[in-house]
């Protein structure tokens, strides 16, 4: 396959932030610049933000005709989709990587789910829910006559066991300060907390309900998935593929439109694109911006593009020298020209990150603390930190996305202009994550992807970030606690702005960019749109013509 890596087509979402592109009406090309001192990674100047510009949470909207088109198409066939890397975990309480959730989202349901256009939440395994005025008592009324794929009845006891499984695996933040779970009524779950948990309902879009029969078998949830979803588990060949089949007893609607789904590991970007063009794959996710020009000119291929709640950042390990010094972390930030990375490496398929919260998430505001590209300022800060001759750093990125190596190489060149020598490598995502989570990571900085899977607020993810960066400060953690326990409204937004300002001053990580994700699929695939959370692609509405 011949590819022009310098002349791709720019793909942008629609006003609804979802675009389905059949054929281009025009092309806009972008020249790829050199990775020099003036051209690496920058996302634009920070300006002071105000509460008036903060996105509001909205009620669910009715789906457009484009989104509901699967209802009028043929409901048969097996969808073959590529996974960029092999899954690292099948237990949803343990899973950390995007490819883990490609299959898990199809097999498992939560108590609630996002509407298809991600404008709000709607019933899933719970048909209704409510909280007391203090947000310390939540009641979920469950859907009757639902069974897990193994025939086990779905009831309040199953919900209780799944919640306790999440908590036992370190995911207690999804449930707040859990006190009791009352499952005395088979179709009602009452959750009591010692502190307010205003986000408990929206968090259930992420938390899945697992068959209690599976949980009763030690470590069984790590080897197969048994839920109540539209598709059920058939087989898993590690490092190769996962096979799913339609659930004939799905509680829907809609009933599954596909006979099954074949998820195949194809680690090489060029191989994924070739397989899509040849027809051996029906769908690929997160297309490299450099391949868009080829795909948009192919009449057999369609593209779906969306901004989402994802952010790519440079994680700083705050217990390791020299990144333990906040002045060094700030010098690194001043030494990265994010605008040029977006323009020259990502070819415009991203936007500048101005905050640790992605745009579109509740609470996003532009902090007053910002870092315009300024190598001189970076050198000055290094001198103040005791490094007049500069510093040397180790940095790692993953092989998960083809663009990551280019981004790392660009930052290497950029930071050199600021007196920072970077030794950069790419490694398997599983190796990188294990290293970050270890007590003593091997490197001082990592290119990391964070997804704000509930669309905001972002609080439990920030706690993860602190743990990954090995960073904590009482002032910031107190602010996060207030954000976690305060309901939506002006008071919560004010806390969020304070937290973002302090975060940007301390820089446990440095926000780089928010990607525009584009997925590509053959023209016989209908009803597919890119997921907003960037983690849970949904095939419930997908059919093959």
Sheet strand arrangement including 126-131: 126-131, 137-142, 188-193, 178-185
**What is the average pLDDT value for the chain, to the nearest integer?**
84
Q: In the prediction, which pLDDT does 7 show?
A: 32
Radius of gyration of the chain (CA): 23
Could you tell me the sign of the dihedral formed by the alpha carbons of 517, 74, 236, 124, in that order? positive
In this predicted structure, what is the pLDDT of residue 462?
Answer: 62
Among 218, 252, 249, 254, smallest CA distance to 150 is for 249
Q: What is the DSSP string of 255-270?
A: PPSSSEEEEEE---HH
Position of tokens 């992605």? Answer: 358
pLDDT score at 95 = 86
Q: Tokens in use for 146? A: 């639902």
Task: Identify whether the C-beta of residue 183 lies closer than 8 Å to the C-beta of residue 159.
Answer: yes
Task: Measure the CA–CA gap between 361 and 496, rounded to whole angstroms.
Answer: 12
Where is 504: in which H helix or E strand? Answer: helix 490-506
Q: What is residue 477's predicted lDDT score, i.e. its pLDDT?
A: 84
Pure H helices in 388-470: 403-416, 429-437, 459-469
Q: What is the dihedral of CA 157, 160, 166, 171, to 10 degrees?
A: 170
Average pLDDT over residues 173-194: 94
Backbone angles phi, psi at 137, to 5 degrees: -135, 120
Identify the pLDDT of residue 156.
Answer: 98
Is there a cis peptide before residue 239, judged by omega within 30 degrees of 0? no
pLDDT at 449: 86
- pLDDT confidence band for 96 (50 / 70 / 90): confident
- Report, as an integer, the average pLDDT of 443-456: 84
pLDDT band for 192, please (50, 70, 90 cuts): very high
So what's the pLDDT on residue 457?
A: 60
Omega before residue 253 within 30° of 0, cis: yes
The neighbouring-strand residues paired with 449 are 312
User: Is the pLDDT reported for residue 420 higher than 70?
Assistant: yes
Lowest-confidence segment of 24-28, 98-102, 324-328 by average pLDDT: 24-28
For residue range 24-37, what is the model confidence (pLDDT) as tens digits? 322 222 222 222 22
Q: Would the pLDDT of 47 be above 80?
A: no
Mean pLDDT of 403-427: 96
Say yes or no to pLDDT of 83 above 50.
yes
3-class DSSP state for residue 301? strand
pLDDT, mean of residues 465-472: 86
Residue 72 scores a pLDDT above 50? no
Name the residue with higher pLDDT: 362 or 401. 362
**pLDDT above 80: residue 58:** no
Residue with the larger pLDDT of the pair 100 and 212: 212
Quick one: pLDDT at residue 466?
Answer: 81
Q: Which domains does the chain have, with CATH numbers?
A: 19-56+308-453+508-513 (3.10.105.10)
pLDDT of residue 476: 85
Q: Is the pLDDT of residue 106 over 90?
A: yes
**Range with the largest mean pLDDT of 246-255, 369-378, 451-460:** 369-378
- Sign of the Cα pseudo-torsion (234, 148, 206, 517, in order): positive
Rounded distance between C-alpha atoms, residue 340 and residue 41, angstroms: 5
pLDDT band at 461 (very low <50, low <70, confident <90, very high): low
The stretch 358-381 carries a mean pLDDT of 93
Give the pLDDT confidence score for residue 118 in this predicted structure. 81
If one compares 15 and 386, the residue with the highest pLDDT of the two is 386
Higher pLDDT, 40 or 223: 223
CA–CA distance from 179 to each of 170, 182, 184 (Å)? 16, 10, 16
458 pLDDT tier (thresholds 50, 70, 90): low
**C-alpha to C-alpha distances, 84 to 13, 80, 241, 264, nearest whole angstrom:** 23, 13, 11, 9
Mean pLDDT of the region 392-417? 93
Is pLDDT larger for residue 172 or for residue 29? 172
Q: Which of 220-224, 422-426, 488-492 has the highest mean pLDDT?
A: 422-426
**Among 411-425, 477-491, 493-507, the least confident range:** 477-491
Please state, for a pLDDT cut of 90, what percent of the chain lies above it: 63
pLDDT (0 to 100) of residue 51: 27
Contact 517, 304 (CB under 8 A): no
pLDDT at 66: 34
Beta strands, E only, 247-300: 260-265, 283-284
Higher pLDDT pick, 229 / 47: 229
Q: Is the pLDDT of residue 3 over 80?
A: no
Length of the chain: 545
* pLDDT for residue 378: 98
Each residue of 113-131: pLDDT tens digit? 988 888 889 999 999 999 9
Is 80 exceeded by the pLDDT of residue 270? yes
| pLDDT tens-digit map of 134-151 | 999 999 999 999 999 999
Give the CA dihedral 467, 202, 175, 482, nearest 10 degrees. Answer: 60
Q: What is the pLDDT of residue 74?
A: 46
Interval 273-285 mean pLDDT:
96
Beta carbons within 8 Å of 446's beta carbon, 6+ residues apart: 314, 315, 317, 395, 396, 397, 432, 435, 436
How far is 349 from 303, CA to CA, in rounded Å? 13
Residue-level pLDDT at 456: 65
């Amino acid at each position: 396959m011949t590819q022009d890596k310098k002349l791709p087509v720019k793909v942008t979402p629609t006003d609804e932030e979802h675009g389905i592109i059949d054929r281009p009406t025009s092309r806009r090309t972008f020249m790829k610049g050199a990775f020099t001192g003036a051209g690496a990674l920058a996302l634009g100047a920070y300006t002071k933000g105000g509460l008036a510009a903060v996105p509001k949470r909205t009620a669910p909207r009715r789906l457009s005709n484009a989104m509901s088109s699967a209802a009028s198409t043929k409901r048969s066939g097996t969808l073959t989709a590529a996974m960029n890397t092999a899954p690292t975990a099948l237990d949803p309480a343990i899973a950390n990587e995007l490819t883990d959730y490609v299959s898990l989202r199809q097999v498992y349901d939560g108590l609630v789910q996002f509407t298809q256009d991600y404008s709000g939440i709607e019933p899933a395994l719970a048909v209704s829910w409510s909280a007391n005025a203090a947000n310390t008592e939540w009641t979920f009324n469950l859907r009757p006559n639902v069974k897990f794929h193994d025939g086990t009845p779905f009831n309040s006891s199953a919900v209780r066991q799944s919640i306790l499984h999440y908590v036992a695996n370190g995911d207690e933040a999804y449930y707040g300060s859990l006190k009791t779970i009352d499952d005395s009524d088979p179709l009602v779950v009452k959750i009591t907390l010692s502190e307010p948990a205003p986000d408990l309902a929206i968090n259930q879009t992420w938390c899945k309900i697992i068959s209690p029969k599976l949980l009763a078998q030690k470590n069984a949830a790590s080897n197969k998935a048994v839920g109540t979803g539209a598709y059920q588990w058939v087989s898993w060949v590690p490092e190769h593929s996962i096979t799913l089949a339609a659930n004939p007893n799905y509680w829907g609607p809609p009933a599954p439109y596909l006979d099954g789904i074949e998820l195949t590991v194809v680690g090489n970007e060029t191989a994924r694109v070739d397989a899509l063009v040849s027809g051996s794959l029906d769908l690929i996710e997160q297309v490299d911006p450099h391949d868009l020009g080829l795909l948009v000119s192919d009449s057999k291929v369609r593209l779906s593009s969306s901004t989402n709640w994802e952010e790519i950042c440079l994680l700083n390990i705050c217990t390791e020298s020299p990144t333990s010094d906040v002045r060094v972390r700030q010098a690194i930030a001043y030494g990265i020209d994010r605008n040029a990375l977006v323009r020259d490496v990502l070819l415009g398929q991203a936007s500048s990150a101005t905050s640790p919260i992605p745009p579109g998430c509740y609470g996003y505001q532009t902090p007053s603390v910002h870092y315009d590209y300024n190598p001189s300022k970076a050198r000055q800060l290094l001198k103040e930190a005791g490094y007049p001759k500069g510093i040397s750093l180790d940095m790692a990125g993953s092989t998960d996305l083809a663009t990551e190596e280019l981004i790392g190489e660009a930052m290497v060149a950029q930071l050199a202009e600021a007196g920072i020598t970077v030794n950069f490598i790419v490694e398997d995502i599983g190796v990188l994550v294990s290293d970050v989570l270890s007590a003593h990571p091997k490197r001082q900085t990592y290119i990391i992807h964070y997804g704000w899977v509930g669309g905001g607020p972002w609080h439990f993810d920030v706690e993860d970030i602190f743990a990954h960066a090995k960073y904590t400060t009482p002032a910031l953690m107190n602010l996060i606690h207030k954000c976690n326990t305060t309901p939506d409204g002006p008071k919560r937004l004010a806390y969020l702005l304070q937290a973002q300002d302090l975060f940007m001053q301390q820089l446990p990580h440095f926000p780089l960019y928010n990607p525009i994700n584009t997925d590509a699929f053959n023209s016989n695939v209908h009803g597919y749109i890119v997921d907003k959370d960037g983690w849970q692609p949904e095939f419930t509405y997908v059919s093959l013509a």
